[in-house]
């Protein structure tokens, strides 16, 4: 795709502006730029009043708050902190006795195409029953529970049941390895794991429970007293008597009614692990009140949600997007949503479009990586091209997780959105909890590749290393000048790391996002250029370079040293390139290929298949300065296949650059 002609296209299209249609503006929840600006002005004038009013309007409180923001112990901000609520009651009970009660909450489509629907009333009953099952096993408010689940109604039910009891969930994506799962079980001190026997993906049955067993067997998981196993398929899995229970066992005889437990607004709703610039993933802790508020609000603002919408966010519940826009936001907003178990390419690459057509989806939200792979597939086969489907039900389409390149943007706009649907390119992070910078469909003129402007009440800035704000047109680091309700509260068990990572002293109290960005000179629109720390973004999945390096050097019989960098990739956005020094002489071609495979499999075992390096290069050493520092800039050039133009005179060992240019 990235031919020289498409590179020219991208320069041309970047300057085009796509204003919303008059009809879209007329019917939108936030109608027109003046309405947007008025909301921003309101927040400017009275920041706490702005958020306080919204929190009173959009959240049901069992005990009203009297304080909006407590910054006395900044950066450990507290929001609405003398208020009490229950998040699950805000997603389910709130709708009882209203027209939403009998509305479809979830349209679940299984990997094999089987469709199951549940109404809000039925979902409440299932959540209540599962919460009672957890309670019967002694699990209570403040306990931590790990979920290792497929995309199913049961996954949503389990998360909501935790929220109902004030139990803090920590979902681990089903693609992570036993080792990654064990790390998280230990770090969070989980009392239970909720899993499934198997998961179905692309027609294949893949084990989950067996991986939980492996994780626990790795040691340090003594806190886990119960493992709950959803029988997704009929295939049996090993069960440990006394510890492991099937869902049917624990649900039997449980009442469907379970009173929601009120919690303080600051009570942790969940902990979600994400990669940072050190080897160890960090447990991002989110609150109940502030988080829920913005999850609900962004449904109304970003997705312009209307009662008749059929909303579909394709993200897995293992990622923050799945938390905010599958489990909490849509339900708090009373939406009908699609939950999809499978993958976009099974039974063929038309699956998404076929589902949009069949379920009459109106708001569709996915990742640029999925779009890019579906472009490629549809170029090869007309049958899976969006034009072969009726996508007229769509009115808004969204993008999340990584920068969307203008080529993909224009294709998405024309072929999926029919030139009619605004693209909401949402820039945010696990740490921000919910959307931060994105267009509003009935207000913001769109510019491909730009996430445009902040939501009302959000104050981003582009700063230099000293925290000084940069003028428009000059790139710098993205930061936020003010806190926001759904922001990360701390890193679980490591408040110092939280402070150091997000509020470094030179940033003058601003939240430091870790991304580079630039504002356009004409409109002041934001364009996020990517991470400026050691974080990789592969297919929208976030990984740390150090995390992959640690995994590689843990192969102690083979690896002496490793350095990992990202390089651009047409399909996955970024790809992982690993430079490895072996504990043996430089291998021959054949041997090198075999070792590279062994290392990829090893990384998959240590972290998960998503972390497998695409490129592996061997050298007798890494390029280092005389003081022994690895010159990563050189490695990045090598990874891209660029000629080395940098000054290599400070390099201890220039000859190894040639060795490292060779890919395996
Ligand atoms: O680099 C930014 C990129 O993804 C990072 C956050 O990753 P994660 O915490 O896994 O959350 C993903 C879902 C929100 C950011 O620091 N990113 C996310 N959305 C965009 C983006 N980069 C450019 N444009 C976006 N819309």
103-152 residue pLDDT tens: 999 999 999 999 999 999 999 999 999 999 999 999 999 999 999 999 99
Ligand 1 contact, 403 CB (< 6 A): yes
Does the annotation flag 617 for ligand binding?
no
CA atoms within 13 A on the CB side of 453: 19
What backbone phi and psi angles, to 5 degrees, belong to 182? Answer: -60, -45
Ligand 1 contact, 100 CB (< 6 A): no
Q: Is residue 24 pLDDT above 90, yes or no?
A: yes
Least confident of 10-19, 252-261, 579-588, 593-602: 10-19
Ligand 1 contact, 486 CB (< 6 A): no
Ligand 1 contact, 559 CB (< 6 A): no
Q: Is residue 5 pLDDT above 90, yes or no?
A: no
Nearest protein Cα to ligand 1, atom 11 = 429
Are β-strands 84-85 and 263-264 bridged in parallel, bridged antiparallel, or unpaired?
Answer: antiparallel
pLDDT digits (tens, 9 = 90+) for 338-362: 999 999 999 999 999 999 999 999 9
Does the annotation flag 321 for ligand binding?
yes
CA atoms within 13 A on the CB side of 165: 29
Residue 428 CA to ligand 1 center (angstroms) comes to: 5
Write out the two tokens for 489: 């509260």
72 burial level (CB within 10 Å; 0-12, 13-18, 19+): exposed
Measured CA to CA, the distance from residue 79 to residue 512 in angstroms comes to 20
Residue 429 CA to ligand 1 center (angstroms) comes to: 5
Q: Is residue 6 pLDDT above 80, yes or no?
A: no
Mean pLDDT across the stretch 511-517? Answer: 96
At residue 434, the pLDDT reads 98
Residue 530 CA to ligand 1 center (angstroms) comes to: 8
Decide if 345 contacts 377 (C-beta within 8 A): yes
Does the annotation flag 204 for ligand binding?
yes
pLDDT digits (tens, 9 = 90+) for 531-570: 998 899 999 899 999 999 999 999 999 999 999 999 999 9
Residue 275 CA to ligand 1 center (angstroms) comes to: 12
CB atoms within 10 A of CB 476: 19
Q: Where are the beta strands (DSSP E) in 56-143?
A: 69-70, 78-79, 84-85, 104-109, 115-119
Taking each helix axis from N to C end, the angle separating 32-45 and 47-58, rounded to the nearest 10 degrees, works out to 110
State ipTM: 0.99
Any alpha helices (H) in 525-611, and if so which ranges? Answer: 545-553, 589-606
* pLDDT-derived band at 469, boundaries 50, 70, 90: very high
What backbone phi and psi angles, to 5 degrees, belong to 69? Answer: -130, 130
CATH numbers and ranges of domains, the chain? 539-660 (3.30.300.30)
DSSP class of residue 416?
A: I
Q: Is residue 468 pLDDT above 50, yes or no?
A: yes
73 burial level (CB within 10 Å; 0-12, 13-18, 19+): exposed
Nearest protein Cα to ligand 1, atom 18 = 401
Ligand 1 contact, 194 CB (< 6 A): no
CB atoms within 10 A of CB 392: 11
Nearest protein Cα to ligand 1, atom 26 = 427
What's the start-to-end Cα distance of the chain, in Å?
23
Ligand 1 contact, 428 CB (< 6 A): yes
Nearest protein Cα to ligand 1, atom 6 = 429
Share of the chain above pLDDT 70, in %: 98
What backbone phi and psi angles, to 5 degrees, belong to 617? Answer: -125, 140
Tell me the helices (H) and strands (E) count for the chain, helix number first: 21, 30
* pLDDT-derived band at 14, boundaries 50, 70, 90: low
Ligand 1 contact, 426 CB (< 6 A): yes
Which atom of ligand 1 is least distant from the CA of 430?
Answer: 9
Q: Is residue 3 pLDDT above 60, yes or no?
A: no
Decide if 203 contacts 347 (C-beta within 8 A): yes
pLDDT digits (tens, 9 = 90+) for 442-463: 999 999 999 999 999 999 999 9
Residue 215's alpha-carbon distances to 159, 179, 207, 211, in angstroms, are 21, 6, 13, 6
Please choose, from the candidates 272, 250, 252, 269, the residue with its C-alpha nearest in 3D space to the C-alpha of residue 261: 269
- Among 429, 450, 478, 540, say which to mutate for ligand 1: greatest number of ligand atoms within 8 Å of CB: 429
Residue 400 CA to ligand 1 center (angstroms) comes to: 7
């Amino acid at each position: 795709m990235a031919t020289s002609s498409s590179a020219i296209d991208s320069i041309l299209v970047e300057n085009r502006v796509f204003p919303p249609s008059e009809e879209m503006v007329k019917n939108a929840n936030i109608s027109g730029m003046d309405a947007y600006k008025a909301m921003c002005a309101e927040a400017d004038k009275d920041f706490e009043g702005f958020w306080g009013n919204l929190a009173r309007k959009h959240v049901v409180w069992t005990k009203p708050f009297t304080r909006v923001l407590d910054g006395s112990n900044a950066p450990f901000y507290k929001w609405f902190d003398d208020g009490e609520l229950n998040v699950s009651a805000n997603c389910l009970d709130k709708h009882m006795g209203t027209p939403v009660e009998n509305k479809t909450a979830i349209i679940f489509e299984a990997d094999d195409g089987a469709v199951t629907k549940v109404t809000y009333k039925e979902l409440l009953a299932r959540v209540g029953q599962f919460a009672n099952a957890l309670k019967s096993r002694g699990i209570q408010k403040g306990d931590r529970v790990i979920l290792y689940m497929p995309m199913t109604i049961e996954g949503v039910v389990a998360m909501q049941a935790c929220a109902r009891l004030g139990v803090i969930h920590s979902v681990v994506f089903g693609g992570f390895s036993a080792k990654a799962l064990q790390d998280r079980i230990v770090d969070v001190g989980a009392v239970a794991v909720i899993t499934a026997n198997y998961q179905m993906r692309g027609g294949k049955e893949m084990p989950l429970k067996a991986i939980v067993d492996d994780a626990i067997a790795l040691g340090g998981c003594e806190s886990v007293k119960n493992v709950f196993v959803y029988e997704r398929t009929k295939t049996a899995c090993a069960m440990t008597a006394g510890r492991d229970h099937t869902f049917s066992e624990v649900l039997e005889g449980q009442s469907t009614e379970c009173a929601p437990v009120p919690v303080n607004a600051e009570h942790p709703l969940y902990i979600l692990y994400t990669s940072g610039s050190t080897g160890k993933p960090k447990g991002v802790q989110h609150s109940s009140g502030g988080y829920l508020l913005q999850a609900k609000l962004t449904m109304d603002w970003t997705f312009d949600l209307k009662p008749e919408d059929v909303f579909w966010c394709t993200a897995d519940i293992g990622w923050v997007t799945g938390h905010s826009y599958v489990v909490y936001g849509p339900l708090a907003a009373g939406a009908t949503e699609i939950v999809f178990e499978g993958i976009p390419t099974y039974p063929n690459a038309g699956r998404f479009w076929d589902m949009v057509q069949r379920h009459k989806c109106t708001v569709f939200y996915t990742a640029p990586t999925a779009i890019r792979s579906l472009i490629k597939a549809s170029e090869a086969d007309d049958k899976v091209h969006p034009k072969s489907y009726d996508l007229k039900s769509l009115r808004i389409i969204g993008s999340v997780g990584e920068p969307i390149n203008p080529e993909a943007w224009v294709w998405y706009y024309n072929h999926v959105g029919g030139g009619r649907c605004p693209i909401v390119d949402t820039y945010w992070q696990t740490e921000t909890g919910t959307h931060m910078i994105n267009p509003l469909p009935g207000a913001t003129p769109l510019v491909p590749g730009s996430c445009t402007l902040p939501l009302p009440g959000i104050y981003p800035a582009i700063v230099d290393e000293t925290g000084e704000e940069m003028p428009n047109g000059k790139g710098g680091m993205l930061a936020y000048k003010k806190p926001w309700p759904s922001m990360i509260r701390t890193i679980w068990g490591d408040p110092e790391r939280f402070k150091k990572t997000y509020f470094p002293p030179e940033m003058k109290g601003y939240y430091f996002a870790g991304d580079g960005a630039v504002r356009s000179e004409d409109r002041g629109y934001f364009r996020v250029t990517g991470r400026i720390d050691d974080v990789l973004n592969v297919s929208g999945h976030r990984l740390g370079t150090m995390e992959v390096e640690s995994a590689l050097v843990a192969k102690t019989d083979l690896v002496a040293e490793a350095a990992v960098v990202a390089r651009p990739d047409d399909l996955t956005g970024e790809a992982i390139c690993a430079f490895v020094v072996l504990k043996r002489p430089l291998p021959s071609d054949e041997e090198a290929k075999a070792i590279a495979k062994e290392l990829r499999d090893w990384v998959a075992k240590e972290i998960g298949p998503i972390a497998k390096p695409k490129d592996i290069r061997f050298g007798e050493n890494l390029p280092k300065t005389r003081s022994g520092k690895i010159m990563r800039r050189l490695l990045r050039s090598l990874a891209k296949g660029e000629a080395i133009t940098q000054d290599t005179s400070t390099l201890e060992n220039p000859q190894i650059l040639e060795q490292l240019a060779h890919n395996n």
